[in-house]
Amino acid sequence: MRAMRRAIALIVLAAAALGIVMVATSGLLDKPVNSPYEAGAGRTNTLFTAFTQRSPKYLDPASSYSSDETPYTYSIYQPLYQYDYVWRPYRLAPGAAAALIEPTFLDAEGNELGPDASGERVAQSVYDIPIKPGIRFAPHPAFARDDQGKLRYHALTPEDLDGIRAIPDFAETGTRELTAHDYVYQIRRLASPRIVSPIYAQMSDHIVGLKDFGDHLREVDAARRAAGDSSWLDLREFEFDGVQALDDHTLRIRVHGKYPQFKYWLAMTFFAPMPWEAESFYSQPGMAERNLTINEWPVGTGPYMLVENIANRRLVLERNPYFDSLTYPCEGSVADRERGLLQDCGKPLPFIDRAVFSIEKEAVPLQGKFLQGYYDIPQIERGEYGVAFRVAAEDSVAKAALYAERGLQLPTTVEASVWYMGFNWLDPVVGKGDTPEQAEKNRKLRHALSIAVDWEQYVAIFEANQAQVAQGPVPPGVRGHREGVEGVNPVVYDMVDGRPQRKSLDEAKRLLAEAGYPNGRDEKSGRPLVLHYDAMGGASGARPQFDWMQRQFAKLGIQLEVRSTDYNRFQDKMRSGVSQIFMWGWLADYPDAENFLFLLYGPNAKAGADGENASNYRNAEFDALFDRMKYLEDGPEKDEVIHRMTDIVQQDAPWMFGYYPASGGAYHQWVGNAIPSQMVRNTLPYLKIDAELRSSKLALWNTPVWWPLGLLVLLALLMVWPAVYLLRRRETATALPKEHH
């Protein structure tokens, strides 16, 4: 009996072990054991990609200007113009506008001038832009109405918001047609004192009446707040002549003088529509406390809408069910056609139903998951991954074979972009200086550092020679860039046998001593010179770059203290003007030198004016030339002005000019219409996914390891065997004749 009980117990234990194994492995056939997604996700029409910093800070089109925000903003909002997805060099195409238009030029008396009128004669440029009829906003509770036709969610109390943490938590949504009035409302928002818009200062110089309008809004807002009224500032109550809706589908914008580059601004989300209902909805009490704002939950007419926003974890876009205003382009080069980039000609956009953006704080797991197939693209807005994979393939036969086996697409392109190390002009040590004597000493310090920091070495180490050392602010491919000997920065290089050669470290030390810091010590106090480098991104992967930079400064005996923060905090520090030295990059918003030179235009300072001049640099001659250049058509006169502006900033050295990076894309074989670009920001609706191919490759590349299962089964059988053996012995003993005992 005791043996029987023991056998039964062992059988039960074995069955339990087998049951555990079966439960633990029941989903393996549907989902690889290391998949970060639910079973079957690979077979859906979904694009999977990543982001590496914190969640984007600004998704409000009036505030958003950073490349980590554009994958969302340019998918959710619809500016008037856009760039042709395929055509190179870049050219504009209609977005929400029915057509690209040329402005009408008026003189000071309001008389119409011809299209070839000189800039001196033009007092205003008038843009009358037709809007496509029938465009509708994505479904949103801001538009929901009750049975009486009243807006359902515009009189909420904080108690009404109990249990609501995200926009999809609202039961009802609505929509309405886009009108020209929505563009008028958005342009007024650029001047709102309750919104930080980085282009307000820039646009105030161009759009007629915008500056006075902004001044008036600030007065009104201050008076209301003084009276204890912090309620919604309804911009429908305020008007100015520079922006008008002539009718529901015609927008008029008046621009000072002749400003040829203005058409490019119309392709940016600053000029996307904003419905007044959205501002009214989000201004209600309790909304901001629950992170229910335009910055977290945008409202647009674009191809996608945001349906999930888990801070610092995941963002999800889904197709806007009302979007039908764009189709895939039909024009391109012979090479484009041969690559299959025109085979979707005329098809409605978007192709992908859903896009999932998951945070990956470290580069190694991001690249690992990409190679496993779990990310279709490493980061949709970053151009360095394709270059990095190409370099890795050149350095390693094994990696080259792996990338070929995986069928990776690694196209490259030349982008108009620059990375630079900036000096804060407001800083007493590295900035302009309060007196002419101090200004000259500070300039010599900047020159010494510009010579000592070896950007050729930086490019070799950290960019794998896939970049060009910069000589000025205007990159290759943009009119005004000087190639060869003419473009060499004379502050940093000498010409030796017809070739540029970085000036010697002895020359840098001489300049440093003349600046008042012999051997890196203050000549008055004798204390070491300590400079502060405000860096973005605190990941461990950045440490080698920080160490390298500290060694460059140490060549002169200067101590460099690195103050690293996440990107959002870095932006805050730059806006407040408290940095000393920083490194930042710029991708062209449009293919014109103005979009780089305005980064050094005094009235566009980051501190105080919320502009994009992060160095807060000011030079009267440079600013005057910039004001002249922005009205010039392309030609020799404009080139001459750009060259003089470059000469000025080379001598003033508000930047160490850094490098012009190469750019490329990294895409899996199942991603269609893959064209790397950082000028075209709304790439997502043009991409397509072969979900069946992806699913098959995921299964092939991520085959589960079954030997642990086999070991468990073997152990279970070993547990069962003693029970079976004991039972068989007992049965045999019972069956034998008594005389045999």
Tens-place pLDDT, residues 221-278: 999 999 999 899 999 999 999 999 999 999 999 999 999 999 999 999 999 999 999 9
**Nearest CA to 614 among 652, 656, 582?**
582
Per-residue burial over 398-435, b if 16 or more Cβ lie within 10 Å, else e, is eeeeebeebebbbbebebbbbbbbbbbbbbebbbbbee
Q: Which of 190-194, 534-538, 548-552 has the lowest mean pLDDT?
A: 534-538
Alpha helices per DSSP H over 542-635: 543-554, 567-576, 594-597, 606-609, 620-629
Q: Are strands 354-359 and 314-319 parallel, antiparallel or unpaired?
A: antiparallel
Q: Which residue has the higher pLDDT, 117 or 453?
A: 453
Say what percent of the chain tops pLDDT 70: 89
**Residue 23 confidence class, pLDDT cut points 50, 70, 90:** very low
Per-residue pLDDT tens digits for 488-508: 999 999 999 889 999 999 999
Backbone angles phi, psi at 575, to 5 degrees: -65, -30
CB 389 within 8 A of CB 403: yes
Structure tokens at 512: 């440093």
Is the per-residue pLDDT at 621 higher than 70? yes
Indicate the pTM of the whole model: 0.77
Q: Which residue has the higher pLDDT, 116 or 435?
A: 435
User: What pLDDT, on the 0 to 100 scale, is given for residue 633?
Assistant: 83
Angle at 369 between CA 363 and CA 375, to 5 degrees: 105
**Residue 72 confidence class, pLDDT cut points 50, 70, 90:** very high
CATH class of 417-661: alpha beta
What is the Cα 40 distance to its own chain's centre?
Answer: 30
User: What pLDDT, on the 0 to 100 scale, is given for residue 610?
Assistant: 81
**Residue 731 confidence class, pLDDT cut points 50, 70, 90:** low
Backbone angles phi, psi at 717, to 5 degrees: -65, -40
**Residue 658 confidence class, pLDDT cut points 50, 70, 90:** very high
User: What pLDDT, on the 0 to 100 scale, is given for residue 386?
Assistant: 82
Choosing among 3.40.50.1820, 3.30.70.260, 1.20.120.450, 3.90.76.10, the CATH entry for 53-285 is 3.90.76.10
Per-residue pLDDT tens digits for 29-65: 445 556 788 889 999 999 999 998 788 999 999 999 9
Is the per-residue pLDDT at 730 higher than 90? no
The CA–CA distances, whole Å, from 313 to 132, 258, 320, 654 equal 37, 46, 23, 37
Is the per-residue pLDDT at 521 higher than 60? yes
**Nearest CA to 188 among 95, 73, 273?**
273
CB 49 within 8 A of CB 356: yes
Rounded Cα distance between 556 and 547, Å, is 15
Rounded Cα distance between 387 and 317, Å, is 27
For helices 397-406 and 384-395, give the axis angle rounded to 10 degrees. 130
**Residue 12 confidence class, pLDDT cut points 50, 70, 90:** very low
Q: Which of 37-46, 719-728, 731-740 has the lowest mean pLDDT?
A: 731-740
**Residue 631 confidence class, pLDDT cut points 50, 70, 90:** confident
Per-residue pLDDT tens digits for 678-706: 889 999 999 999 999 999 999 999 987 65
Is the per-residue pLDDT at 565 higher than 50? yes
Is the per-residue pLDDT at 24 higher than 90? no
Q: Which residue has the higher pLDDT, 265 or 714?
A: 265
Is the per-residue pLDDT at 644 higher than 60? yes
User: What pLDDT, on the 0 to 100 scale, is given for residue 741?
Assistant: 38
CB atoms closer than 10 angstroms to residue 74: 29
The CA–CA distances, whole Å, from 14 to 8, 53, 712, 714, 722 equal 10, 49, 10, 10, 11
Average pLDDT taken over every residue of the chain: 89
Is the per-residue pLDDT at 338 higher than 50? yes
User: What pLDDT, on the 0 to 100 scale, is given for residue 5?
Assistant: 55
